[in-house]
Amino acid sequence: MTCIVGMVDNGYVYIGGERGASDDNAIISSTRPKVGVRNGWIYGFAGTFGIGQLIECIDLPPLDRDEDVYTYIRLDIVEKLKGAIESYSKDNEENTTEWLIGCQGRLFEMSSADWGVCEVSYTSIGSGFPYALGSLYTSIRTKDVEKRLRMAISAAIEYSPSCRGPIDIYYV
């Protein structure tokens, strides 16, 4: 499972995550991050690895300033992910995956469970989310965004048996 955290601060979107890969019996540290940046987009995933990784493979074109990020995510990215999932995975309800995705200073949370897209200022997803979200709330007066994200992910690693380092943090 996972802990991915995201935050908007001063026009930038930050997303960080740990690299644990677990099932019911074991946890390992992946050599590949579950967060990334491409063409002005930032993203992270939690849930089924194979489905989560599809966001790394779909087209995320640079957006013009007059294009609405929410509309593009809702109408284009959701459809691209649905198509990729249909092509590359089994139809299985256990394959539910969540993503954080941001662009142009805006951050969104979405899930393959219902394909809802919710704009947020800060949040956390994955099995470690309650620990990270609590840390984000209690560190609200900390001005260093990367420090807040690192503390939140570290809390999840400390208290969730399905989270493990190292930690990756990016911003756009």
What is the pLDDT tens value at each position of the chain, 172 positions in all? Answer: 799 999 999 999 999 999 999 888 999 999 999 999 999 999 999 998 889 999 999 999 999 999 999 999 999 999 999 999 888 766 555 668 999 999 999 999 999 999 999 999 999 999 999 999 999 999 999 999 999 999 999 999 999 999 999 999 999 9
Task: List the structure tokens of 54.
Answer: 């599809």
Residue with the two structure tokens 């995956």: 97
Q: Look at residue 1 in the predicted model and tell me its pLDDT.
A: 73
0.85 surpassed by pTM: yes
Helices in 67-160 by DSSP H: which ranges?
Answer: 69-72, 78-88, 129-138, 145-159
**Mapping DSSP to helix (H, G, I), strand (E, B) and coil, where does residue 135 land?**
helix
Q: Look at residue 87 in the predicted model and tell me its pLDDT.
A: 85
Q: Look at residue 55 in the predicted model and tell me its pLDDT.
A: 95
Q: How many CB atoms lie within 10 A of CB 155?
A: 24
Report the alpha-carbon distance of residue 3 to residue 154 in Å, rounded.
Answer: 9
